[in-house]
Structure 1
């Protein structure tokens, strides 16, 4: 179900209620014109005073058929108007009207997003991914189809989400697939994640796709479908628990770094550096002296990772830097880059 269909769902009962009211009025006008030979104006007047039960005098004396029709019209109109009043009251009291406009606002914000992340599935893994994206101030849209989870998401004010099946093309397009920079497939079913990855890769070739997998055999299928990375939470969890026994302090130190909001581990492309900083060595950049941040790793143009690179290593255009520091230190480094451009 797309956001448009979700909005229609909220207003469907209201549409039915208003339709019944209009139907009663049209039925009354048509009935009096056919049975009593009233002209249009007299039929409208007679219908309105009948359904409103105001007690005005009839246009002229009704015959037997007219009286029987009037009785049924009154009974039917009472039911229709009672239903309409109950629906409208529910929208006002239960807040469904406000909920509709909240969905309208969310839909408008999603249409304005660019270079955002789409998270398919708001279960355990999807929720954790969204929390990390939120802490990094990265815009994202979550897609979920479970009504119980959706009810929880509606209570959160700081999340953009769509109610729908992420394996459907139209739902992914509603989430801005063509404008997104990355997609996380975190659905509970590996088969569903394969469908999501296939659709996403076909619609957006430049998209960064990360998928969750449960079965060992699914990793290969997901990569063939177009996933850049496949994460198996169960394997990672087991490795993490074993590492807490073999290297507890090291792992806790890493968890401390990655878990603290004030600690940032950022990746920066050397081609984004200003001209005067390119092709210089790490020593010549003096990042540590100027900002306090540290270049702890690099990724070469050939995909090779260098841990704790030598200070004499040059900053080639296709190289990626991994910078570790506090949030203020990393922001200061980025500010130096921005001012030098």
Structure 2
């Protein structure tokens, strides 16, 4: 309780400095005026200045001339004004601290009432996207962002708590990253800051799941050693997206239907035309979002290795066959190639070996197609 009281009554340094300077200036004015106007010696000048500024006025030194009365009046009024200023600072500071303390208590109570939650550090360009994704999925979120202006539009409720503290200077984040925390997402744009937060959390929470942003690829290993479970580089992901956008005329999405036994023949055709199989999307009937498996190969040797692997591992082959049955053999290939002319030849040859359902179909079109397949 004593620590809380001291913290509440602590006055900001800038107000303390300005108050001290005003008191010194008025005190000097009182001493100089008492000596030259009132005709008092140094000790009596100090005494008279203090009792006049404090509006005590014992009456042992009375101003008699007009100039003495004006001096005494200005000294007394300035003393009253100064006392009012200091009192106002103390009262305003006390009210602000009490308000913040009250809000802090409410925030901690809201956190205590959460069954589980995500902790998000940083509400910049990347943090905003993460925050929107979490709230869209109705997840409980504790957001750490020291800049209050950045979060002024966030409406706090039982599922969203915003804490305006620097995560690198406060141990609260480490305390909250306990059993109820599903994940800590660190999204500040400074890798050094992210590294420090990871170290702080991991030191006291060895089981916490920590996902950190890394702006530079060379910092991945440092964050990993510090204790981050996952490292994401939005800049690198963005670069990959830019690459695909720049090559969009030479990216083909072909939706087909065939069995697992025909997979290798299909791969030979793709490799023959110098194209790269980027990934495969398996379409669950009527569902827009597919199951995606990254491939990223154009080497026929990879296809042979995969075929041989399935022949030698019956359980794995059965698992993939079950997947093909689940999607009714319907899936899409994302293929990159040298030019459009190559794609035309590729599609023509694939049509001779398997059922081609469509080219560059949207998710909705594929979902509609798969719904019709199960009727």
TM-score normalised by the chain length of structure 1: 0.50
TM-score normalised by the chain length of structure 2: 0.46
